[in-house]
Amino acid sequence: MNVFELNNVSKSFGTVRALNNLTLTVPEGSIFGFLGPNGAGKTTTIKILLRLIKEDSGTINLFGEKIDIENVRKRKRIGFVPEEFSLYNYMTGWGILHFNAGLFGKKNLVKIDELQDTFHLPLREKISTYSRGMKKALSLYIALSTGPELLILDEPTDGLDPVVRKRLLDFLIKEVAEKNITIFFSSHILSEVEKICDTVVIIKKGKVLVQEELDKIKENANLITVRFSSKIDISKLEAKGITSISKIDESTFDLKLFKDSSAIVKKIEEAGGEVVRKIPLSFEDIFMHFMEEKNVVTH
């Protein structure tokens, strides 16, 4: 089952088109990486999912049912950690956890003991004494305390030190494995996305550039060196769909491949070329390629 689906969702703010027929499918039990530059439409997408704002057009299915802006029942099955958070500083950690549980109609707080084993927050102290990193961790406590089926994280590791950041990522992987919750993970830190996400979508200017399993994206992304027996016109390589070509000499070239890698290598070999080196590209190389790509890549 898909936890949620966005189908051709568009949203404009005045003359600015934030989302342009955005289509996403997030399967149950996945850690779904949501990437894009500033202004790509990530925050708008999250607000629409949470029903904080309404889309101009398109449809949204959440937990298998179409929802509208008035439908708040399903939001109780969602946990959310925003990039910028506001907490009641006069309350204690325990106080705000119980306050939140009351809003969600939950009698018992779950996962708190597990979270305490990881983060060791001083829950009996006032939030005004917390550091930024501690407040971020408390936001995760709040989001997880009522046992959500979908956890939406917007830059969740911002403000955390490296040790706590690693503990958080390990905890999220464990939650998916043991509880089968679904995590929608929006982050600018590519190494974190690469570490924990099984599927990735990259958007730019409100459009999907690529949505694919991360392993498949990486499998197709390679730097290869090809050598021909004689001089070859570079235009013949460009005609095979290769957009990143570095000439070493008249018969040897470095090529960066980002899709259909095996098919392109086969075409090169059929043209008399030999692959003499193949190096996997980094996830940063992959991301930057799609940021620089002019055309949208369908999925």
Q: Based on the fold, state whether residues 247 and 132 are members of the same structural domain.
A: no
Rounded alpha-carbon distances, angstroms, from residue 52 to 40, 156, 175 = 18, 19, 26
Q: Do 167 and 99 fall into the same domain?
A: yes
In tens, the pLDDT along 203-258 reads 999 999 999 999 999 988 889 898 888 777 767 666 665 767 788 888 888 888 88
CA atoms of 132 and 164, how far apart (whole Å)? 12
- Contacts (Cβ under 8 Å, ≥6 apart) of 160: 133, 136, 137, 168
Number of domains into which the chain is organized: 2
Same domain, 99 and 138: yes
Asked whether residue 295 is domain-assigned, the answer is no
Residue at 96: amino acid letter: I
Q: In terms of domains, do 191 and 246 share one?
A: no
Residue at 291 is within a domain: no
Q: Are both 144 and 240 inside the same structural domain?
A: no
Q: Which domain holds residue 226?
A: 222-280
Q: What share of the chain is helix, strand, coil (3-state, %, to 5)?
A: 35, 30, 35
Residue 174 pLDDT > 90, yes or no?
A: no
User: Which one has a higher pLDDT value, 240 or 168?
Assistant: 168
Kindly compute the dihedral angle of the four CA atoms of residues 88, 90, 95, 98, in this order, to the nearest 10 degrees: -30
- The pLDDT, as a whole number, for residue 240 is 60
The pTM for the full model equals 0.85
**How confident is residue 103, by pLDDT bands cut at 50, 70 and 90?**
confident
In a domain, 67, yes or no: yes
**Taking a C-beta distance cutoff of 8 angstroms, is the pair 60, 9 a contact?**
yes
Q: In what order do the strands lie in the sheet with 244-249?
A: 244-249, 252-257, 222-228, 273-280
> What pLDDT is stored for residue 238 in this prediction?
67
Q: In terms of pLDDT, which residue wins out, 280 or 158?
A: 280
* Alpha helix ranges (H) inside 130-275: 132-144, 162-179, 190-196, 214-220, 234-238, 261-270
* Residue tagged 């004494």 (tokens): 129
Percent of the chain with pLDDT over 70: 91
Q: Within 13 A of 298's CA, how many CA atoms are on the CB side?
A: 1
Per-residue pLDDT tens for 23-80? 999 999 999 999 999 889 999 999 998 888 999 999 999 888 887 655 556 677 888 9
pLDDT of residue 299 exceeding 80, the answer is no
Quick one: pLDDT at residue 243? 64
Q: How is residue 54 written in tokens?
A: 């309404």
Check whether residue 236 and residue 204 sit in a common domain. Answer: no
Shared domain check, 256 and 179: no
3-state secondary structure of 15: coil
Here the CATH number for the domain that contains residue 173 is: 3.40.50.300
pLDDT of res. 108? 66
Average pLDDT over residues 260-280: 83
pLDDT at 298: 41
- Looking at the structure, tell me whether residues 166 and 207 fall in a common domain: yes
Residue 296 has pLDDT above 60, yes or no: no
